């Protein structure tokens, strides 16, 4: 055989091998599992709705673990106060699906969860320097084992730990279409979630429901604050809504209710480190419900939320979790449950409320989330985080930051107004606590301001936050 013939034969073998590999892989296209997370962060005088309290059987401390199969990440490779978090799963067919979930709170401590977790780390451990170094090592190991055409051994896969930043770890939840034994619901919102008949039951040992729940208490500050504008006068209340954070803020709705009427300001987006100015008297809607509840509902609903990737997803590696969201819009049923619990607190009380949507990148930074599944499925993650602040408009003798006190952390008092130079403004802005100093982004040059901006920033507030729900879905 000539050298040319040997080369041709070798190329033919390689081509046949590639064709065989592609044909085999094509038959193993992974199916999508949709992960939907929604939550509410609470600041200022905002309170948790009475109908959103926890059932008595939710966990508040580590109580041992149930017997489980190996963590999902070890599976074989295919080539203010975040309260009331729930995780629901939807699927067609009768097969059971394994899922692993890990969640952390970079500025707070997990306080309750359901079902029982397999691992629990304190905030001191999960948010410390040692955890940051371990996280870097874990990411490097994942990248090494994920190189093309390499199949890690069982021993190598078992060396992959949960995210060191995670405070709550469920190694192997089971999504099942079969009926399960349930505790009494105790709360209307639990009954409402159980009534979502399309949702999968989620089991962990003997504990099961149509959701997974986790809650934390944090020291986060509101991304927005309200100050009095330079043109403020009687009958012409000029207010400034400022985004002091390093992430954009979206779908802002400011509502002020007083004896003379209700005022509603809507802002689609305020870029990071920017602010927008408004005259309150110019924003009196004819239909308050349409300008508040209906407006926000429309902004958050996806008419077709279960759309997977157009291409075939192959070579799934269960040890590689999904950690970044691809969007935030959810189904109408999910949004109706969320707003059914929170709409009155958002828009219905006397005084001033400020509601906004957190950027998905902000959620990823503040509340790292990792979701694993087997080689036959892949995760499509969407995260919806809302925040609400309640308080008073700036008065004649003070400028109100969005202060709050939750848990055991003291609140900070609002300063009296004073003229600020550009250098003072910069120092004030940089005084905001970074969620993760190792990932702090540089200040953008020439940040865009919305029309009507005209006041200096004032310190933001400390608050707790509220996480509501993580929802997983799949289709055949």
Residue of 211, 272, 330, 204 whose CA lies nearest to 450: 272
Count of beta carbons in the 10 Å neighbourhood of residue 440? 12
- Cα dihedral: 286, 384, 394, 280 (round 10): -20
Contacts 24+ apart (CB under 8 A), 422-426: 424/456, 425/456, 425/457
Share of the chain above pLDDT 70, in %: 71
173/179 Cα distance (integer angstroms): 15
pLDDT value of position 411? 28
**Helical ranges in 27-119 per DSSP H:** none
pLDDT of amino acid 211 = 85
Measured CA to CA, the distance from residue 329 to residue 348 in angstroms comes to 24
**Residue with more model confidence, 403 or 289:** 289
Q: What is the pLDDT of residues 157-171, one digit of tens each?
A: 777 889 999 999 999
CB under 8 Å, gap of 24 or more: what pairs does 133-139 form? 134/161, 134/164, 135/163, 135/164, 135/165, 138/163, 138/164
CA distances from 407 to 147, 390, 465 (A): 45, 17, 11
Write phi, then psi, for 301 (nearest 5 degrees).
-90, 135
Measured in whole angstroms, how far is the alpha carbon of residue 187 from the centre of its chain?
24
For residue 207, with 0-12 CB atoms within 10 Å meaning exposed, 13-18 middle and 19 or more buried, which class applies? middle
Backbone angles phi and psi of 362, in degrees to 5: -65, -45
Q: 397 vs 2, 308, 393, 458, CA distance in Å?
A: 95, 54, 11, 14
Q: Confirm if 21 and 458 have CB atoms less than 8 A apart.
A: no
More confident of the two residues 43 and 133: 133
The alpha carbons of the chain give a radius of gyration, in whole angstroms, of 25
| CA neighbours closer than 13 Å in the CB half-sphere of residue 238 | 12
Rounded CA gap, 45 and 50, in Å? Answer: 15
The total number of residues shown for the chain amounts to 476
Nearest CA-CA partner of 135 in 160, 161, 164: 164
Q: How far apart are CA 138 and CA 146, in angstroms?
A: 12
Q: Where are the alpha helices (DSSP H) in 371-432?
A: 422-430
Residue 92 in tokens: 């067609």
Average pLDDT of the residues in 141-165: 81
Q: Is residue 360 within 8 Å of 36, Cβ to Cβ?
A: no
Quote the CA–CA distance of 284 and 209 in Å, as a whole number.
44
Buried b (16+ CB within 10 A) or exposed e, 292-317: bbebbeebbbbeebeeeeeeeebebb
What is the pLDDT averaged over residues 404-428? Answer: 30
CB 395 within 8 A of CB 120: no
Lowest mean pLDDT among 270-284, 357-371, 387-401: 387-401
* 148 band by pLDDT with thresholds 50, 70 and 90: low
Instruction: Quickly state the pLDDT bin for 416 (edges 50, 70, 90).
Output: very low
The predicted model gives 52-61 an average pLDDT of 89
CB atoms inside a 10 Å sphere around CB 112: 19
Are the CB atoms for 228 and 240 separated by under 8 Å? yes
Give yes or no for residue 397 having a pLDDT over 50: no
pLDDT, tens digit, 9 for 90 and up, residues 232-255: 999 999 999 999 999 999 999 999
Quick: pLDDT tens for 74-114. Answer: 665 543 566 555 666 666 667 888 999 999 999 999 999 99
Question: Which tokens hold the place of 468?
Answer: 């509501």
Q: Is 118 in contact with 171 (CB distance < 8 Å)? A: yes
Choose among 280, 278, 298: nearest CA to 289: 298
Beta bridge partners, 199, equal 90
Predicted confidence (pLDDT) at residue 206 exceeds the cutoff of 50: yes
- The three-state DSSP-derived secondary structure of 130-178 is HHHHHHHHHHHHHHHHCCCCCCCCHHHHHCCCCCCCCCEEEEEEEEECC
**Are 226 and 356 within 8 A, CB to CB?**
no
Percent of the chain predicted with pLDDT > 90: 41
pLDDT for position 65:
65
**Could you tell me if 362 and 385 are in contact, meaning their C-beta atoms sit under 8 angstroms apart?**
yes
pLDDT score of 466 more than 80: no
Contact predicate 403/411, CB 8 Å: yes
Contact (CB, 8 A) for 107 and 464? no
Which of 81-95, 202-216, 303-317, 321-335 has the lowest average pLDDT? 81-95
């Amino acid at each position: 055989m000539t050298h040319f013939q040997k080369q041709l034969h070798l190329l033919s073998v390689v081509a046949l091998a590639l064709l065989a590999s592609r044909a085999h892989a094509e038959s193993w296209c992974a199916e999508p599992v949709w992960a939907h997370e929604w939550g509410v962060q609470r600041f200022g005088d905002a309170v948790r709705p009475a109908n959103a309290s926890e059932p008595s059987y939710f966990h508040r401390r580590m109580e041992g673990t149930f017997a489980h199969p190996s963590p999902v990440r070890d599976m074989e490779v295919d080539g203010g106060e975040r309260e009331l978090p729930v995780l629901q799963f939807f699927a067609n067919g009768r097969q059971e699906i394994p899922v692993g979930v890990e969640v952390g709170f970079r500025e707070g401590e997990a306080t309750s969860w359901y079902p029982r977790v397999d691992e629990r780390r304190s905030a001191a451990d999960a948010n410390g320097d040692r955890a940051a170094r371990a996280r870097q090592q874990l990411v490097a190991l994942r990248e090494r084992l994920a190189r093309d055409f390499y199949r890690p051994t069982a021993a190598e896969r078992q060396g992959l730990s949960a995210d060191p930043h995670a405070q709550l770890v469920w190694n192997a939840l089971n999504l099942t279409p079969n009926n399960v034994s349930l505790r009494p619901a105790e709360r209307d919102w639990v009954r409402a979630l159980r009534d979502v008949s399309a949702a999968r039951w989620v089991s962990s040992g003997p504990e099961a429901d149509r959701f997974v729940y986790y809650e934390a208490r944090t020291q986060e500050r509101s991304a927005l604050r309200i100050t009095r504008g330079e043109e403020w006068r009687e009958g012409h209340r000029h207010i400034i809504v400022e985004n002091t954070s390093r992430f954009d803020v979206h779908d802002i709705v400011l509502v002020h209710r007083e004896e003379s009427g209700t005022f509603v300001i809507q802002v689609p987006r305020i870029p990071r480190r920017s602010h927008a100015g408004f005259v309150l008297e110019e924003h009196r809607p004819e239909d308050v419900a349409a300008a508040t509840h209906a407006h926000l509902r429309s902004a958050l609903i996806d008419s077709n939320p279960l759309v997977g990737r157009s291409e075939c997803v192959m070579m799934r590696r269960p040890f590689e979790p999904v950690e970044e969201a691809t969007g935030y819009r959810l189904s109408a049923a999910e949004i109706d449950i969320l707003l059914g619990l929170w709409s009155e607190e958002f828009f219905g009380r006397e005084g001033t409320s400020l509601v906004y949507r957190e950027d998905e990148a902000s959620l990823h930074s503040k509340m790292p989330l990792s979701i694993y599944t087997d080689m036959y499925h892949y995760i499509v993650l969407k995260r919806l985080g809302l925040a609400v602040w309640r308080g008073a408009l700036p008065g004649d003798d003070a400028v109100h930051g969005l202060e709050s006190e939750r848990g055991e952390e003291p609140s900070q008092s609002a300063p009296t107004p004073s003229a600020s130079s550009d250098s003072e403004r910069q120092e004030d802005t940089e005084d905001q606590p970074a969620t993760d100093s190792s990932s702090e982004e540089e200040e953008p040059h020439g940040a865009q301001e919305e029309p009507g901006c005209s006041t200096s920033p004032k310190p933001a507030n400390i608050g707790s936050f509220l996480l509501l729900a993580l929802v997983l879905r799949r289709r055949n």
